[in-house]
Amino acid sequence: MRDVKKHAQRRKLFARPFSKTVLRSTWEPVVRGKVQLMISQIQKDLTTLGVCDVFKWSTFLATDVSAHLMFGESFEMLQRGEKNEYIRILESVIQGSGILFELPFLGYIVPCIPLQSVREMFGNGEALLRYGQSLLNNSRSNSESSRNIFSGLVHASEKDGASFNDIDVAIEAGNLIVAGSDTTAVTLTYLIWAILSRPKLHTQLGNELATLRENWEEGDLESLSLLNATITETLRLYGAAPGALPRSVPEGGVTFSGYYIPGGVTVSTQSWTIHRDPVLFPNPEKFDPSRWLPGDNQASEQARLAMSPFGSGSRTCLGIHLSWMELRLATAEFFLQCGNVKWAPSVTEESMKPKHFFLIAPSAHKCKITLAT
C-alpha cells in the first residue's frame, strides 16, 4: 500500500486488535491450544516414526494461528498434518502473481488454458473471495466461538461509514496469513535448532523454565531473561525477513548523512548485514544470547537501536506481539515437554544454511529431530 494516508488509516484500525493487551486477553488460549496440539503431534511422530520434522509442524502452527485469528475458525492443519484448500490456493495465487510479474505476456495465454490448476493460479482468486465472505460473516456475528481479529474492526469501520467490503477483507486476510505464517515458522525452527545445538544453553534454559509457577501464562514468560535473550539472538541472526525493505523518498527529496536524495527515488535498508556489523556486534556470526543479558558482553545502546528484525518506522511489522507470543509459548512448551530429543543426522550446518527468497528458510526445507535415547 503506497498511499501514505490510506496506510496510516489501516494501521490505526489494526493497532488495537494486534496490541499485546488485546492479543493476551482474547487470543492467548487459542494460541496455547494450538501450541499444545503441535507438541502432541511432535511427540506422536517421535513415538510412531522415530523422527519428526520441526519445520513442518512450526509451519502448520503459525499458519493455523494466523488463519484462526483472521477467519474465526480453525483450518485444522495441525490436526490433519496437511495444508487445507485455502492455503493451497493462496500459495498457488502467490506463485502465479510472481510468474506474471516476471513474464507479463503469459497473461494473454493463460485464460485459454482450460485447466483448473491454471485457472486457480492465474485467476482472480474467486475461491479466496468465497472464504473472505465467510470471514466477514464471522466478523459480523456476535458469537464468541466465531470471533476473529476483524470483529471489532468491521464494526468500527462501519460506524465511520467506511465499511470493509468482501474484497477488502479477503485481501487483508490473505496478506495477514502470508505475513504471519512462514515468518514465524522459520524463526521458530531456527530458534529450536539454535538451542538444541548448544547443550549448555539447553540445560540453562530448562533450569529457567523450571522456575515457572504452576498455571503460568504467557505474561510470566516475559520475565524469563534467558528465554527472551535467546529469542532476540535468533531474530538477530535468523529473523525471517532480513532482505531489502524499499521506501520512496518523499517529494522534494531529503538530505541524509550529508547526501541529497531526490524525491521519488526508491531507497532501502535491510537487516542481514546490519545485524552482522562487527562494530555493533563483535564476533557477529557467533550465536550468543549473552549480548541481550546484563554483563560485560551486553550489546551497546547503538546495537540495540540497530536491531530491526521486524523492520522499523511507520511500516514496522504489525504482528510483532503475536509472533513474540507464539515464539515464547512454543519454545517454552517444546523444552518443557520434549526435553529428550536431538537432531537427526540429516540436520547439518549445510542443511540449515539460510536460503533467501525475500524470506529466508533452511536450505533443506526440513529440520528433523529424533529421541535422544
Could you list the residues known to form a binding site for heme, using ranges: 317
Q: Does 194 engage in binding with ligand HEM (CB under 6 A)?
A: no
Which residues are annotated binding-site positions?
Answer: 317
Contact with ligand HEM (CB under 6 A) among 41, 187, 331, 370: 187
- C-alpha span between 266 and 281 (Å, rounded): 28
Q: Which is closer to ligand HEM, CB of 275 or CB of 368?
A: 275
Longest CA span, the chain = 66
Taking CB under 6 A as the binding criterion, the range among 212-220, 237-245, 256-264, 299-307 that sits at the site for ligand HEM is: 237-245
The three cell numbers locating residue 141: 456475528
Do 28 and 217 form a contact (C-beta atoms < 8 A)?
A: yes
Q: Which is closer to ligand HEM, CB of 41 or CB of 58?
A: 58
Q: Which is closer to ligand HEM, CB of 117 or CB of 316?
A: 316
Q: Does 315 engage in binding with ligand HEM (CB under 6 A)?
A: yes
Q: Does 17 engage in binding with ligand HEM (CB under 6 A)?
A: no
Which regions of the chain does DSSP assign to beta strands (E)? Answer: 51-53, 245-248, 254-256, 259-261, 266-269, 341-343, 354-357, 359-362, 368-371
Contact with ligand HEM (CB under 6 A) among 322, 332, 338, 352: 322
Q: Which of residues 28-67 bind ligand HEM (CB under 6 A)?
A: 66
Q: Does 171 engage in binding with ligand HEM (CB under 6 A)?
A: no
What is the dihedral sign for C-alpha 129, 314, 327, 93? positive
The residue at minimum Cβ distance from ligand HEM is: 319
Do 367 and 55 form a contact (C-beta atoms < 8 A)?
A: yes
- C-alpha span between 232 and 226 (Å, rounded): 10
Contact with ligand HEM (CB under 6 A) among 273, 316, 346, 363: 316
Q: Which is closer to ligand HEM, CB of 176 or CB of 209?
A: 176
- C-alpha span between 212 and 333 (Å, rounded): 12
Least separation, in Å, of the C-beta of 34 and ligand HEM?
13
Q: Does 318 engage in binding with ligand HEM (CB under 6 A)?
A: yes
Residue 65: CB partners within 8 Å, gap ≥ 6?
A: 30, 31, 34, 180, 184, 322, 326
Q: Which is closer to ligand HEM, CB of 318 or CB of 338?
A: 318
What is the dihedral sign for C-alpha 13, 175, 264, 358? positive
Q: Does 11 engage in binding with ligand HEM (CB under 6 A)?
A: yes
Least separation, in Å, of the C-beta of 311 and ligand HEM?
2
- Report the b/e string of 33-42 with b at 16+ CB within 10 A: ebbebbbebb
- Based on C-alpha coordinates, what's the Rg of the chain? 22
Contact with ligand HEM (CB under 6 A) among 41, 183, 189, 232: 183
Q: Which is closer to ligand HEM, CB of 96 or CB of 239?
A: 239
| Count of residues engaged in binding ligand HEM, rule: CB under 6 A | 24
Q: Which is closer to ligand HEM, CB of 2 or CB of 159?
A: 2
Contact with ligand HEM (CB under 6 A) among 52, 241, 360, 367: 241
Do 231 and 331 form a contact (C-beta atoms < 8 A)?
A: yes
The binding site for ligand HEM (CB under 6 A) comprises 11, 66, 176, 179-180, 183-184, 187, 239-241, 245, 309-313, 315-319, 322-323
